[in-house]
Amino acid sequence: MAVIKVRNSGKVIEGVEQVGAFLEEQGVLYEHWDMSKLPQELHEKFNLSDEDKQQILTAFDQDIRSLAERRGYVNWDVIALSDTTPNLEELLKKFEQVHTHTDDEVRVITAGHGIFIVKGEGEIGYFDIELEAGDVISVPEHTPHFFTLMEDRQVVAVRLFIDTDGWVAHPYEEKEQQI
């Protein structure tokens, strides 16, 4: 289950209900999907063939279509990052820049871990959402955020899009960036 860490206050939020309530207040969609639907060999596989990726999409087809229908997504795919990814360091440098999108950004973690660092509403400042397999989040449009890996340095995620143009990253800058 996801864990929230608020950077300014050091506050940690855990537990499905508390995490759900906090993220709802911040306009961030949060769900947890049943990972037992995923074939066993894909729980710890990070170097994926096209066939593996298709298997992941097939395993969660119903959940994906339900989420897509509710929120207007029309395309989806699978992304995998690990030390076997060429240029992982370069990719991470790019991902670790604060940016916004004109559409919301949706990720379903199916293996490994990832962190979204999101700029909260009002005084709260930036908070980390640490994600594990089964966690589903959507960062709202125009909300500054960035993504990085956790200690295991590996993740597999399903991405859902309204429009591929809406997913272009626009750099975000503020005078005193406290992240």
Footprint of Fe ion (CB under 5 A) = 105
Q: Which residue is nearest to Fe ion (CB)?
A: 105
Burial tier of 44 (Cβ tally within 10 Å: 0-12, 13-18, 19+) = exposed
Least Cβ distance, residue 37 to Fe ion (angstroms): 26
Minimum CB separation of residue 95 from Fe ion in Å reads: 8
Taking the complex as a whole, how short is the minimal distance between the CB of residue 84 and Fe ion, in angstroms?
23
SS3 per residue for 88-109: HHHHHHHHCCCEECCCCEEEEE
CB-nearer residue toward Fe ion: 45 or 135: 135
Comparison of 82 and 138: residue with beta carbon closer to Fe ion: 138
Cβ distance 35 to 124 under 8 Å? no
CB 109 within 8 A of CB 116: no
Q: Choose between 105 and 130: whose C-beta lies nearer to Fe ion.
A: 105
Residue with smaller CB distance to Fe ion, 105 or 128: 105
φ, ψ for residue 126, nearest 5 deg? -80, 140
Least distance in Å: CB of 167 to Fe ion?
7
